[in-house]
Homo-oligomer: A and B are copies of this chain.
Amino acid sequence: MPQYNPPLRDMQFVMHELLNVVDELKLLPAHADIDVETINAVLEEGGKFASEVLAPLNLSGDAEGCTLDKTSHEVTPPKGFKEAYAKYVEGGWPALGCDPAYGGQGLPLVINQSFYEMMNSANQAWTMYPGLSHGAYEALHAHGTEEQKALYLPKLTSGEWTGTMCLTEAHCGTDLGMLRSKAVPVNEGQADGSYKITGNKIFISAGEHDMVANIVHLVLARLPGAPEGSKGISLFIVPKFLVNADGSLGARNGIFCGGLEHKMGIHANATCQMVLDEAIGTLVGAPNKGLAAMFVMMNAARLGVGNQSLGLTEVAYQNAAAYAKDRIQMRALSGPKAPDKAADPIIVHPDVRKMLLTARAYAEGGRALSTYVALTLDRALSSADEDERKEALDEVSLLTPIIKAFISDNAWIATSHCMQVFGGHGFIHEWGMEQYVRDSRINMIYEGTNTIQSLDLLGRKVLGDNGAKLKKFGNLIASFVEDEGVNEAMQEFINPLADLGDKVTKLTTEIGMKAFGNPDEVGAAAVDYLRIVGHLSFAYFWARMAKVALAKQGSGDLFYTAKLSTARFYFAKLLPETAMLIRTARAGLPSLMEMDEALF
């Protein structure tokens, strides 16, 4: 069975040595009291929960899956999941990043993000139950009325209830403007805030389960006479059990699990078809503004998906590295390295190392970027300065599609490499490696496919403001390049970073010009473009990490030696992907559109 060791040392490196999060957080009134010891203590305890409680349930949960009782419509997750959830609540973990006004601990997101990384490494399918719940919490916190917040947020904060996002219908996922679920006022003609909602939703993660007393569904539906398309969609709270004014539970509401999906991965999460049959719900936010309200949740969810992929990359790496040191097979081409054994450990083979280092460089690069973005989001939410909040939010919005798509694509590559290290055993369930590959695959799809992320990045975030947000991020890089330009030891990292920065600037202009002529040029280049900017951001953080490691190399702590080696690997073997991507992005639209649809 695969093992998981929380990467506390690397998390501390990123937080305290690379990003100095405590100094940054001190500038935010809500987090001015946080200190290194608190952060480390929370991560250590969180790591124990992940590795000791969740990790042992990952493989068995995948094999067992969820079961639906077709009579009662109740769903039972795999053995041990309910008990693990009870421990999670008992430990106060759901409240970590929640508002103290509703019983939360009010810790910064940057800590919650690392805690979630560890839970995702240990058990992505389990972690989706509280993860979706946190998304519902955020949407309600941002858009609910005071009454709604008072009724629901304390229970979501304590973890007594969980939440879901009910968006997708069978005929529409990406294109929510087409959705058909209907909401009509309970009291015909007088909208008192209660609606009867009818429709069918699919792909509802954690949609039904027996781990909590109530489930708070956030549902998108159309009001009578609503405009067509995405401008006619409203958001509703639809609890599994109606909630009385005093917070006690009332009648079973008309929202049921009609079926469970049979999926490629995340078997242990209940992916439900939800049937709403005049289910009672209350409106969240303004009528017809549901998509905007839901976007709060979706943006958080997109960062969450990047984090799931980061977690899978890390745990797959750990297990593949351990196997490669243990498994003996063949001799090194350059002669025996373990002559006392019947064969050498496979880590002597350069390609095995390449597969391992790919996963490692993607995990550590992803951790640096994700932690940076979480910290920026803390500034966006908690800075006392409005301009800073706006600027931070702009940066988060630029980097969100990169985190979602680049890290999830990388995880697909990395988990597959790590599985390959195991040879035939990698294909067998009991080793756990193929599960990481299967679980990671959904991350490229849900919360907006990676193609959608790339259109969001290139079309909306970059070209949409004539490159202003990108330029600001580019300035960070340029000033780092300038500062380190005089540092001889940094040249091997700075030169390719600066070179790629220049190329991105030129490429962005070129695509922008082409897009004036034909907007489809954006769609032709977007996926390549996202990976190029993803590499630019990784190269930036790898260069910064190399700088820290170079400075501390004399300490005798081999952590820094490994960090430098991994940085060198990243620049030598992963960054060159941009040479391909720039070519294919520049090749643009013609070869994609030449063939008539009928000939496909």
Contact = CB atoms under 8 A, between A and B. Distances in A.
A173 interface: yes
A517 to B, nearest CB: 10
Nearest to A558: B599
Interface stretch (A108-116, A279-287, A344-352): A344-352
A572 interface: yes
A349 B175 CA distance: 13
A243 interface: no
A367 to B, nearest CB: 17
Contacts of A321: 600
* Most chain B beta carbons < 10 A, residue from A360, A455, A579, A592: A592
B451 A351 contact: yes
Contact of A333 (B342, B345, B523): B523
A146 interface: no
Interface stretch (A22-30, A374-382, A425-433, A469-477): A425-433
A575 to B, nearest CB: 9
Interface of A is mostly: helix
A264 B330 contact: no
A565 B580 CA distance: 21
A343 B173 CA distance: 12
Contact of A524 (B354, B356, B519, B578): B354
A173 B444 CA distance: 32
A498 interface: no
B333 A459 contact: yes
Interface residues of A, number: 99
A558 B262 CA distance: 40
A347 B573 contact: no
A592 to B, nearest CB: 5
B520 A357 contact: no
Contacts of A342: 178
A532 to B, nearest CB: 12
A278 interface: no
A203 interface: yes
A512 B356 CA distance: 25
A434 interface: yes
Interface of A: 63, 168, 172-175, 178, 202-203, 261-265, 321, 324-325, 329-330, 332-335, 342-343, 345, 347-354, 356-357, 360, 412, 416, 419-420, 423-424, 426-430, 434, 437-438, 441-442, 444-446, 449-451, 454-455, 459, 518-520, 522-524, 526-527, 558, 561-562, 565-566, 568-569, 571-573, 576-580, 583-584, 587, 589-597, 599-600
